[in-house]
A = this chain, B = another copy of it.
């Protein structure tokens, strides 16, 4: 019955653990747990998860960002961003211009309506965050952030 060196079969313990102990899956499960609470809030306000990442990046940035900066921070590709920025601009959630010193480089900032949206959604999402923070405890949450950062740094 499935010797240790057999090719992994359906009931093989290693195979079972492999899926359960897959780092991408563990990260996905945790993220889904968080996002399942958060997505309905975003949907109510007519923004997708990816659009929200853009708005959050812009609202947190001290200075306007280029498309390249945004791409790096939000993990969205250029073509996706191009279309998305056009749509967000049409909705007056962001503003676009060109860099003074380099006409190729775009200069993107959050617009007042975008900041309002972030300010509206923020408090609503806080309850979700508090629920998770309370469930884990502050020390565990700190550890989690630390470990996630270290994992990200391995890229």
| Interface pair B135/A150, CB less than 8 Å apart | yes
Q: Which of B37, B110, B149, B155 contacts A155 (CB 8 A)?
A: B37
Give A155's nearest chain B residue, CB to CB.
Answer: B33
Give the interface size class of chain A: 35 or more
A8 to B96, CA, bound (A): 21
| Interface pair A136/B155, CB less than 8 Å apart | no
Complex copy number for this chain: 2
| Interface pair A144/B147, CB less than 8 Å apart | yes
Give A49's nearest chain B residue, CB to CB.
Answer: B24
Among A20, A60, A143, find the residue whose CB has the most chain B CB atoms closer than 10 A.
Answer: A60
Say what secondary structure dominates the interface of chain A: helix
Tell me, yes or no, whether A99 is within 8 Å of chain B by CB: no
Tell me, yes or no, whether A148 is within 8 Å of chain B by CB: yes
Tell me, yes or no, whether A132 is within 8 Å of chain B by CB: yes
Q: How far is the CB of A32 from chain B (nearest CB, A)?
A: 5
Q: A38-B24, A148-B26, A150-B135 are in contact. Are A155 and B32 (CB under 8 A)?
A: yes
Tell me, yes or no, whether A71 is within 8 Å of chain B by CB: no
Residues of chain B with a CB closer than 8 A to A135's CB = 150, 153-154
A32 to B154, CA, bound (A): 11
Other 7 A-B pairs with CB < 8 A, given A24-B31, A33-B153: A19-B59, A20-B60, A29-B149, A135-B150, A136-B147, A136-B151, A144-B144
